[in-house]
Amino acid sequence: MIKRIIKFISSWTYLIISLLLLYSSYAYFLSHEKPYEAWLSFLFHNPAGVILYAGLIMNLTCINIRIISSRIRRNEKTCADNIKDMDSYLVIPSPKDASPERACDWLKNKGFSPVISTNSIEAVKGRYSFLPGAVLRLGLTIFLASLLLSAHLRQAEDAVFKEGGKKMISGREALLSSVKAPELSEFLLIEGEDSFRLKDVYAELIVSGNKHTADSGFPVRIDDNYYRITHLGFSQMIDLKTEMIQFKKELELDVLPPPKKDAVDTGQNIVLTFELQPENIIKKGLLEAKKFNLINPTYYLTVSKSADENNIPEESLELLIKPLDKKKSGNYEIELGEKALFIKIQSVRDPALLWIYAGAFLSVSGLLFMLSRFFWYEKRISIIVRNEEAHIGYSEEFYKKWGVYKFNLWKDDIDGLFSESSINKG
């Protein structure tokens, strides 16, 4: 009973059933607002989903073990009864004193590696051709298992840092000593195009007294946590004075890419809306392009009173202002400090992260390696001599019809190794 269960769990049928069940579970969640997220939640957090998911991982593992063990076992033992089950099968009379060396030389000429045992020769080409599939299955197993672990063990935290700022993140104090975004100098916005891209953003972090460089690419490991830059914007000190109120604060302005607006509620019935203003406008034919200076930007600032009881906002003031500028208009006095950059850093604690990377790498490698299976596959010749007869069988893993033709073409050579022939096809 247990053997049957193990055989079923390590079968391709179980894999197909698992995949169909996975699809069915996804189809069930299609009516949800976010079907993929709901499905993931089912797979990783619902007992039925976890069983289904774990079953798939177990199935991949068992298939791998089954295939590797069957290929290795076959390599060690030549089974006389198996010769009749091979794709092509030939029986020819063999003299009593027939020597296996001639057959071995012929097999070596054909690229096989013959292994001689008592009364039998086993020759295999493509002995290790199971490796690409094994690597792929192993990679998928590791990847899927680590995704499940990560879903339960990952702890993530985000923190916003200004240049020179200190903050606690993941229980450690971190100081952002500098931020570099090499391409953040100027930007040309061409009508109708969305082309603002920054290749890299770097940050020097001092954590637990040690200097580290985090960037927007792969996460950097600092102690047990992984750090990565996930956002960038302008940090701007503003000093706003009216007769009634004073507002002085360092604001994090999410105004990238232009012409994005960011509204800041001062909490005193005044809303400040910032937008980057182009330095100049370039015309080429009918097309218009706006050039933005991102080192010393100009802000289009709107100061408006919050909506009143009737929900009618009152526009108070619109002006253009640069960092370190001071402007006065009506009741308002506005001064901007120096512009700096702020970044958002994500800190993740995930013991399974390295395994996710390993699994992804093995899976991709295995997938590419699988391309070799079009021409790298097992070809096996088995020869057993008994009762003055040589039983010769030939099998190919794929393209069996061509293997049969090939063996028929070798008939004359094989007849020459032994004396007479009669052909039976397996």
Partner 1 sequence: MQQIFLIAFREAAQCVLLLSLLLLFPPIINNNKYYGSLTAGAAAAVIAGFLIGFNLFMSSSMPSNETWAFWRHVSEAAIFYSGLALLIVRPKVSSTLIYSGLFTIGFFLIFFESREVGFLTLDSAELSDNSAGIIISAIAGFFAGAALLLPVIRFIRKIARNIISILPGFLMLVGAWKFISGGTGELEKTGFFMALQTGIMNFLDRAVGHLQSALLITRHSFINAPFEGLAVFLSGDRMAMTLAFIFFIIPPVFMLLYLFARPDPIASEINTRAYNRLSAAFFRKSLAYEAAPALAAFIMLLVMMHMVNLSANPLYEPVPMPVKEIEGRQAVKLPLSDSLGHFTDKKLRKYVYYYGHKQIFFIAILKPDGSVGVALDECEICRPADWNKDAQGYAQRGENLICKYCVTPIPVASVNSPGGCNPIPLPFTMDDENIIIAVSDLIRLYNEVRALEKKGSHF
Question: Rule CB under 8 A: which residues touch partner 1?
Answer: 26-27, 30-31, 35-37, 40, 147, 150, 191-192, 196-201, 216-219, 226, 228-232, 256-257, 283-287, 346, 348, 353, 356-357, 360, 399-401, 404, 423, 425
DSSP 154-187: -EEEEEEEETT-EEEETTEEEEEEEEE-TT-SEE
* Contact status, residue 393 vs residue 86, Cβ threshold 8 Å: yes
**Comparison of 314 and 413: residue with beta carbon closer to partner 1:** 413
Residues 6+ apart with CB under 8 A from 178: 163, 203, 204
Q: Least distance from C-beta 365 to partner 1, angstroms?
A: 15
Token pair listed for 95: 């003299």
**Comparison of 216 and 266: residue with beta carbon closer to partner 1:** 216
Q: Least distance from C-beta 313 to partner 1, angstroms?
A: 27
**Comparison of 128 and 402: residue with beta carbon closer to partner 1:** 402
Q: Least distance from C-beta 226 to partner 1, angstroms?
A: 6
Buried b (16+ CB within 10 A) or exposed e, 143-165: bbbbbbbbbeeeeeeebbbbeeb
Q: Least distance from C-beta 353 to partner 1, angstroms?
A: 7
**Comparison of 75 and 150: residue with beta carbon closer to partner 1:** 150
**Comparison of 201 and 253: residue with beta carbon closer to partner 1:** 201
Task: Give me the helices (H) in 307-409, please.
Answer: 353-369, 400-409
Q: Least distance from C-beta 401 to partner 1, angstroms?
A: 5
**Comparison of 128 and 405: residue with beta carbon closer to partner 1:** 405
Q: Least distance from C-beta 261 to partner 1, angstroms?
A: 15
Q: Least distance from C-beta 119 to partner 1, angstroms?
A: 28
What is the distance, to the nearest Å, from the Cα of residue 313 to the centroid of all Cα atoms in its chain? 47
DSSP reduced 3-state for 235: strand
* Contact status, residue 92 vs residue 418, Cβ threshold 8 Å: yes
From the list 183, 188, 185, 186, the residue with the least C-alpha distance to 290 is 188
Q: How many CB atoms lie within 10 A of CB 386?
A: 11
**Comparison of 3 and 197: residue with beta carbon closer to partner 1:** 197
d(CA 57, CA 213) in angstroms, rounded, equals 37
